[in-house]
Amino acid sequence: MKQLQHCSYSGSVKRLLFIGAHPDDETFFAAGTFAKYAEAGAQIGVICATRGERGKTGDLCPTEELPQVRERELIKAMAALGVTDVQFLPYQDKCLADAPLEEMRRVLVESIRRRKPQVVITFDTHGANQHADHLAISRFALDAVAAASDGRWYPELGSAHVIERLLWTPPTILFKLPEDADVPNLPGSDFVIDTTQWTEQKTRAFQAHRTQFPGLKKLFFDNPNGQRTFGIEVFRLAWGKRPASVPADDLFAE
Ligand SMILES: [Zn+2]
């Protein structure tokens, strides 16, 4: 007798979506995690709501070219990690909170329903470092995750998609923790990913953000705390099923 194959949702291809504000947000918090899951065959999408065009050029290009330069840098950084799905949104750096809510909700709902991620990562509600754009994208992402799950919103954009987990950046940026912090046992360390195996790819992703590299180098490569925490990435469960034990070492853990 032929047995019907049971297609469990969690057994299907793993899909991860990062929703950030600026080029480098994704590398800052999740580069090693992307490399790990990309290597394992997961589908990873990165949404970047601005082009970081009000940042520094690092004397590498004229100011007016910075949006295109930052766009290329992000694409190159993701290529170093095996990620090819990068979507830029047309919003203004340092003004993300003023982006039109309806338009943002629609574009993010479309992105979520098209990619059908089980796991979405975005900034926590304090924007990791209280940056106004990070706070704004956290709000927009949460709004869109909820709207994507309700078919009454934008039925023309595809059927409702309910994600399994919404993850946030950790409560404290890792290199700001005291040297003796026991990271896996801190509240909010719900998913702790050991990325040491992907240090090379992660380093190349940072380097690809050339216009931002002088600042990133200080934080991650010159700072002993940055070096010490370079091999781990931490995510906090915002919404969805808690893993059986914390910290879990897999974003998709049962
Ligand atoms: Zn940022």
Query: pLDDT grade, residue 11 (50/70/90)?
Result: low
Domain residues of the chain, as ranges?
14-240
How many angstroms does the Cα of residue 50 sit away from the middle of ligand 1? 9
Range 67-82 average pLDDT? 98
Provide φ and ψ at 33, rounded to 5°.
-65, -40
Residue at token pair 């990070």: 134
How many angstroms does the Cα of residue 249 sit away from the middle of ligand 1? 25
- The total of other beta-carbon atoms located within 10 Å of residue 84's CB is 13
How many angstroms does the Cα of residue 55 sit away from the middle of ligand 1? 10
Query: Please, are residues 215 and 206 in contact by the beta-carbon 8 Å criterion?
Result: no
DSSP state of 193: E
How many angstroms does the Cα of residue 185 sit away from the middle of ligand 1? 26
* Token reading at 112: 């979520």
How many angstroms does the Cα of residue 51 sit away from the middle of ligand 1? 10
How many angstroms does the Cα of residue 34 sit away from the middle of ligand 1? 17
* Mean pLDDT estimate for the chain: 95
Q: Would you call 28 helix, strand, or coil by DSSP? A: helix
Residue 8 above 90 pLDDT?
Answer: no
pLDDT of res. 12: 84
What would the CATH number be for the domain defined by 14-240?
3.40.50.10320
pLDDT of res. 3: 47
How many angstroms does the Cα of residue 108 sit away from the middle of ligand 1? 18
List, in sequence order, the alpha helices (H) in 101-153.
101-115, 127-130, 132-148
How many angstroms does the Cα of residue 141 sit away from the middle of ligand 1? 15
How many angstroms does the Cα of residue 3 sit away from the middle of ligand 1? 50
Range 121-141 average pLDDT? 98
How many angstroms does the Cα of residue 131 sit away from the middle of ligand 1? 7
Query: How far apart, in Å, do the first and last CA atoms of the chain sit?
Result: 31
Helix, strand, coil percentages, rounded to 5, for the chain: 45, 15, 35
How many angstroms does the Cα of residue 28 sit away from the middle of ligand 1? 9
Q: What is the per-residue pLDDT across 100-125, written as a single tens digit (0 to 9) for each?
A: 999 999 999 999 999 999 999 999 99
Residues near ligand 1 ion, CB 5 Å cutoff: 21-22, 25
Kindly tell me the sign of the dihedral angle through the C-alpha atoms of 188, 233, 165, 155: positive
The pTM (predicted TM-score) of the whole model is 0.95
How many angstroms does the Cα of residue 135 sit away from the middle of ligand 1? 10
Cα distances from 101 to residues 15, 137, 161, in angstroms, run 26, 11, 20
How many angstroms does the Cα of residue 48 sit away from the middle of ligand 1? 10
